[in-house]
Structure 1
Amino acid sequence: MEFIAEIRRRHLVSGESISSIARSLKLSRPTVRKAVKAQVEPLYQRQRQPTPKLGEFQEQLTDWLALDARLPKRQRRTAQRLFECLQIEDYQGSYGPVQRFVMNWKQQAGIRSTTKQAFVPLVFPAGETCQFDWSHEVVVLGGVSQTIKLAHFRLAYSRQMFVAAYPRETQEMVLDAHVRAFAFFGGVPKRMVYDNLKTVVDAILVGKERQFNRRFLALANHYLFEPVACTPESGWEKGQVEKQVGNIREWLFTPTPKFQDFTALNAWLAARCLELAGRQHPQQTQLTITECFAEEQPLLNAVGAEFDGYVEKTLRVSSTCLIRVDHNRYSVPAEWANRVVSVRVTAAQVRIVADSQLIAEHSRRLGRDQLICDPWHYLPVLEKKPGALRHGAPFQTWDLPMSIKVVRDHILKQDKGDRAFVELLLMARALGDGGLDTLEVACDLTLQTGVVAAAVVLNEMRRLTESTHTKALTDIKLSIPTLQLEPMADCARYDSLRSLQHEH
Structure 2
Amino acid sequence: METSMKIRGWILGDGRSIHSVARETGISRTTIKKYLRDPEQPRYRRRQPRVGSKLNAQFEARLRELFEHDLSLRRRDRRTAKKLYEELVAQGYTGSYSPVQRFVSELKKSSGTDGTDAFIPLYFAPGDALQFDWSEEYVLLGGVQHKVHVAHFRLCHSRKPFVVAYMNEKQEMVLDAFVRALTFFGGVPRRVIIDNPKTMVTYVSRSKDRIFHPRFLALMNHYVIEPVACTPASGWEKGQVENQVQFLRGELFTPRLAFNDLAALNAWLLLRCEELAERRHTDQQHRTIAEVFEDEKIELRPLGRPFDGYVEKTLRVRSTCLVQYDSNRYSVPCEHAGHHVSLRAYADRLVMIANDEIIAEHKRRFTRNISYFEPWHYVPLLDRKPGALRDGAPFVGWELPKSMEQIKDHYMREKGGDREFVDLLLLALEHGIDVVEMACDLAVEQRTLRLPAIINLVNQLLEPTIAPLAETHAYPQLTLRPEADCKRYETLCAAGRVAA
TM-score of the superposition, structure 1-length normalised? 0.82
Structure 1 residues 66 and 232, CA, compared in 2 at 3 Å: closer, same or farther? Answer: closer
| Alignment map for 1:232-311 (pairs within 5 Å) | 232-311=232-311
Match of 1:82 among 81, 84, 93: 84
Q: Give, in whole Å, the separation in 1 of the partners of 2:192 and 2:388.
A: 54
Is 1:343 matched with 2:343? yes
Give the alignment's Cα RMSD to 1 decimal: 3.6
| Alignment map for 1:3-82 (pairs within 5 Å) | 24=30, 50-52=52-54, 57-58=59-60, 60-82=62-84
Is 1:455 matched with 2:452? yes
Structure 1 residues 126 and 89, CA, compared in 2 at 3 Å: closer, same or farther? Answer: farther
Which position in structure 1 is the counterpart of 2:365? 365
Moved more, 444-453 or 263-272: 444-453
**Is this contact kept in 2: 1:78–1:250, CA < 8 A?**
yes
Q: Give, in whole Å, the separation in 1 of the partners of 2:105 and 2:210.
A: 44
Structure 1 residues 475 and 167, CA, compared in 2 at 3 Å: closer, same or farther? Answer: farther
Moved more, 232-241 or 361-370: 361-370
User: Aligned-pair distance for 1:84?
Assistant: 4.0
User: Aligned-pair distance for 1:455?
Assistant: 2.4
Which position in structure 2 is the counterpart of 1:94? 96
Q: State the Cα deviation string for residues 328-368 of structure 1 (Å, max 9, x = none).
A: 11001101001111110010110111111111111111112
Structure 1 residues 159 and 405, CA, compared in 2 at 3 Å: closer, same or farther? Answer: same
**Is this contact kept in 1: 2:165–2:262, CA < 8 A?**
yes
**Is this contact kept in 2: 1:281–1:288, CA < 8 A?**
yes
Q: Give, in whole Å, the separation in 2 of the partners of 1:86 and 1:155.
A: 34
Q: Give, in whole Å, the separation in 2 of the partners of 1:117 and 1:57.
A: 30
Which position in structure 2 is the counterpart of 1:198? 198
Which position in structure 2 is the counterpart of 1:382? 382
| Alignment map for 1:126-205 (pairs within 5 Å) | 126-205=126-205
Q: State the Cα deviation string for residues 426-465 of structure 1 (Å, max 9, x = none).
A: 111111xxx2122222222222233432222222222222
Q: Give, in whole Å, the separation in 2 of the partners of 1:379 and 1:148.
A: 38
Moved more, 455-464 or 327-336: 455-464
SS at match of 2:383: helix
Q: Give, in whole Å, the separation in 2 of the partners of 1:398 and 1:475.
A: 43
Q: Give, in whole Å, the separation in 1 of the partners of 2:469 and 2:262.
A: 50
Structure 1 residues 54 and 304, CA, compared in 2 at 3 Å: closer, same or farther? Answer: farther
Q: Give, in whole Å, the separation in 1 of the partners of 2:312 and 2:468.
A: 47
Q: Which amino acid is the alignment partner of residue 400 of structure 1?
A: L
Which position in structure 2 is the counterpart of 1:213? 213
SS at match of 2:378: helix
SS at match of 1:384: coil
User: Aligned-pair distance for 1:474?
Assistant: 3.6
Q: State the Cα deviation string for residues 29-79 of structure 1 (Å, max 9, x = none).
A: 9xxx9x9999xxxx99xx999322556644653453344233221111121
**Is this contact kept in 1: 2:108–2:114, CA < 8 A?**
no
Moved more, 48-57 or 146-155: 48-57
Q: List gaps (5 residues or longer) in structure 1.
A: 15-22, 483-493
User: Aligned-pair distance for 1:206?
Assistant: 4.8
**Is this contact kept in 1: 2:54–2:94, CA < 8 A?**
no
Which position in structure 1 is the counterpart of 2:121? 121
User: Aligned-pair distance for 1:100?
Assistant: 3.2
Moved more, 452-461 or 253-262: 452-461
Q: Give, in whole Å, the separation in 1 of the partners of 2:378 and 2:204.
A: 48
Q: Give, in whole Å, the separation in 1 of the partners of 2:350 and 2:391.
A: 26
**Is this contact kept in 1: 2:85–2:97, CA < 8 A?**
yes
Q: How many residues align?
A: 455
User: Aligned-pair distance for 1:24?
Assistant: 4.2
Q: Give, in whole Å, the separation in 2 of the partners of 1:95 and 1:355.
A: 65
Q: Give, in whole Å, the separation in 2 of the partners of 1:357 and 1:105.
A: 63
Q: List gaps (5 residues or longer) in structure 2.
A: 14-28, 476-487, 496-500
Q: Give, in whole Å, the separation in 2 of the partners of 1:405 and 1:156.
A: 59
User: Aligned-pair distance for 1:208?
Assistant: 4.4
